[in-house]
Amino acid sequence: MESGQTVSMKGPVCLIENDSDGKLCVVRSALETLSQIEQHVVVVAVVGLYRTGKSYLMNKLAGTNKGFALGATIQSQTKGIWMWCVPHPIKSDHTLVLLDTEGLGDVEKGDDSNDNWIFSLAVLLSSTLVYNSMGTIDNYALEKLHYVTELTDLIKVKSVEGDIDESADYVRFFPSFVWAVRDFGLELKLDGKPITAHQYLENALKLKQGTSNKIVNYNLPRDCLRKFFSPRWCFVFERPANSEKMKRMEELTDADLEPSFVKQSRDFCDHLFKEVKTKTMIGGLKVTGKMLGNLTEMYVDMIRSGQVPCLDNAVVALAQIENSSALEKAKAYYQQSMAKMVVFPTETQQQLSMVHASMEREAVAIFMNSSFKDEDQKYQKELMKALQEVYSTICEKNLQESQRACTHIIEHIFAPLKVQLRNGSYMTPGGYKHYCDDLKMMTSEYRSTGGKGVKAEEVLKEYLNDKESTGQAILSADQSLTEAELKAEEEKAKREASEQEKRTMEEQIRVQEMLMDDQKRTHEEHKKQLLEKMEADKENAKVEYNRVLEAKLKVGTVIMETSRQYIDLGLRDSPLSLTVLFTVCLHFSHLLHFEFVFYFTKFCKILLASQPNNYDTVFLVVVTAWYF
């Protein structure tokens, strides 16, 4: 897709808010802004507890100190989800969309359901999700991120009832994850050795061994983060300034802040600018601003109606919207281009055909660039039919304009003949020869005159046929001709009429042949561009497959680690308990059949290694796993 149109907003606007009934709703003016963005978008959403300084980070990403309300009171400033679209600082063909969300856990609202949906929408709409917290990444901080444990209840991947959404399905389509830790006062060390902030995060996400409720609750948010979000990054920020300065953050420049904080903020922004990918949907579809607006409206409508947002359904609905739009855009481009390029009447059908071929090729390319998931080429076939109808109308107009132009030229060139006939100048001895000479001269002048179009010979034939009786009357009245000469002139007139008929037929055949060639070339052009798109989609699918494979392997690794821990616990002193079996099988149930077999085989090998020759236990595992 080419660079396309974008917008640069002066400041943020509200995208999603709560209506008078407390339900989420989309702000129409914000959707209109998104609808103008034809560029692909990189979407960064920030979430976190209220009063944790989320808006400051978003302002830095926008390249300013002001924009998203910072506030210096105990009240949460951001309500709903606010949006700011700015040119991407590195990718000139992309627009950076910043989403600042309402602070989670706002005591003024006290609405957990609203918080859950705000968090879910941030996940659904973003390329990367920035979670902003204060202090350290400890168990308390992870407990506050309990929203991730409810994502499978709030977001569906598959639309078919009965299909199980896998962890790998979520990680494929969920955004990357960045944990921004504000006012971080610890040293980044582990076991006395320096570590990076990213290693600090991964260490905090390690699971504990055990099956007690306390350990399960401890592991749950960590397990969800590991399964659902990849890649994951972490950035830590020291306190930016003293308390007095913090009260007027919007007025401060970098010079007023701690140098270490300024550097950390710059590193954070640079990383997001370089690493965050284009917002992508199922099938590798890259999202434009217009598409993002449609997605936002669809997701919010689903939530308002009590449904769980479903990625499959969203893609299908989005495909219908975008394909219809692509069809109309391509059709409009063709109509406007033909109106601009074609001057009626064209001298030949070939001239019109050449313009048509060029404009149709470009129109089909526009459709192909904007369409996706066009099942059975439904919309492409509609486009082919629509363009053919427009072209047929243009061809018909070309015939009409040619008829009009030829009639006008004949009236002008043959006007002297009309005067002579009215005066009876040819009704004299030798008059027929003068009549034929004048008619031949004027016919020659007509044929050499340009601007007649594709009906030149047909209109001339109609005129000459109309004058046939006049010529016969002049011939009969010419007393200077002998009987033999009279007969010879009659034969000559028939030959000329036959020759004119032949010219007319050849002219019509040329037009019909060109129209048939147009249809053949149209099918070939559509087929050619479809194959090119299918090849490009195939490459995208290959990339998507690799992402899926990587995601599944990561999920499998987590499961194997967990399974090994459970086996160690369950088999150290006693046979594997049904509780442990149940937990393991629940983990396995997230996988597709062939992955289940792969990991289950590895699981049994570990089991046998722990208790050699204990085939009864393995059998029990197999039966229990099959049941679940």
Tens digits of residue pLDDT in 525-569: 999 999 998 888 788 777 767 766 776 666 566 555 655 555 554
Residue 292 lies in a domain: yes
Instruction: Please give the share of the chain, as a percent, with pLDDT higher than 90.
Output: 58
Tell me which of 42-56, 101-115, 502-516 is least confident: 101-115
pLDDT value for 257: 86
CA distances (Å), 13 to each of 16, 43, 83, 161, in order? Answer: 9, 15, 5, 37
- Count Cα atoms within 13 angstroms, Cβ side, for 553: 6
Q: How far apart are the C-alpha atoms of 381 and 375, rounded to whole Å?
A: 11
pLDDT in tens, 272-331: 999 999 999 877 788 999 999 999 999 999 999 999 898 888 888 899 999 999 999 999
Q: How far apart are the C-alpha atoms of 377 and 246, rounded to whole Å?
A: 58
pLDDT value for 253: 76
358-362 contacts, C-beta under 8 A, 24 or more apart: 359/333, 359/334, 360/334, 360/387, 360/391, 360/522, 360/525, 361/525, 361/529, 362/333, 362/334, 362/337
pLDDT value for 113: 85
pLDDT value for 72: 41
83-115 in b/e form (b: 16+ CB < 10 A) is: bbbbbbeebeebbbbbbbbbbbbbeebeeeebb
Note if the bond before 89 is cis, omega within 30 degrees. Answer: no
- 496 pLDDT above the threshold of 90: yes
Residue among 520, 561, 264 at smallest CA distance from 384? 520
pLDDT in tens, 427-437: 999 999 999 99
Q: Which domain holds residue 152?
A: 13-309
- 30 pLDDT above the threshold of 50: yes
pLDDT value for 207: 92
Residue 424 lies in a domain: no
End-of-domain residue from the set 253, 284, 309: 309
Mean pLDDT of 134-144: 90
Residue 596 lies in a domain: yes
Q: How far apart are the C-alpha atoms of 577 and 500, rounded to whole Å?
A: 101
Mean pLDDT of 178-193: 92
CATH of the domain at 44: 3.40.50.300
Residue 138 lies in a domain: yes
- 592 pLDDT above the threshold of 50: no
pLDDT in tens, 274-285: 999 999 987 778
Mean pLDDT of 146-150: 87
Helix or strand or coil: residue 276? coil
- 588 pLDDT above the threshold of 90: no
Residue 180 lies in a domain: yes
Tell me which of 27-31, 346-350, 544-548 is least confident: 544-548
Mean pLDDT of the chain: 84
The answer to whether 196 touches 349, Cβ cutoff 8 Å, is no
End-of-domain residue from the set 246, 275, 309: 309
pLDDT value for 604: 59
Residue 486 lies in a domain: no
242-255 in b/e form (b: 16+ CB < 10 A) is: eeeeeeebbeeeee
Instruction: Give the angle subtended at the CA of 66 by the CAs of 82 and 256, to the nearest 5°.
Output: 140
pLDDT value for 591: 42
205 CB-near residues (< 8 Å, 6+ apart): 222, 225, 226, 232
The answer to whether 459 touches 507, Cβ cutoff 8 Å, is no
What's the pLDDT band for 74 if we cut at 50, 70, 90?
Answer: very low
- 376 pLDDT above the threshold of 60: yes
Query: Which of 236-245, 368-377, 454-463, 540-549 has the highest average model confidence (pLDDT)?
Result: 454-463
Tell me which of 11-25, 68-82, 464-478, 506-520 is least confident: 68-82
pLDDT value for 292: 97
- 43 pLDDT above the threshold of 50: yes
- 234 pLDDT above the threshold of 90: yes
The answer to whether 307 touches 361, Cβ cutoff 8 Å, is no
Which is more confident, 539 or 502?
A: 502
Residue 172 lies in a domain: yes
Helix or strand or coil: residue 101? strand
Residue 507 lies in a domain: no
- 2 pLDDT above the threshold of 50: no
Number of domains in the chain: 2
End-of-domain residue from the set 309, 327, 357: 309
pLDDT value for 250: 65
- 600 pLDDT above the threshold of 90: no
Tell me which of 184-193, 405-414, 604-613 is least confident: 604-613
What's the pLDDT band for 22 if we cut at 50, 70, 90?
Answer: confident
- 574 pLDDT above the threshold of 70: no
The answer to whether 566 touches 208, Cβ cutoff 8 Å, is no
pLDDT in tens, 203-216: 999 999 988 999 99
- 77 pLDDT above the threshold of 50: no
Mean pLDDT of 348-376: 94
pLDDT value for 559: 55
Residue 273 tokens, joined: 């600018």
- 597 pLDDT above the threshold of 80: no
Instruction: Please give the share of the chain, as a percent, with pLDDT higher than 70.
Output: 80
What's the pLDDT band for 620 if we cut at 50, 70, 90?
Answer: low
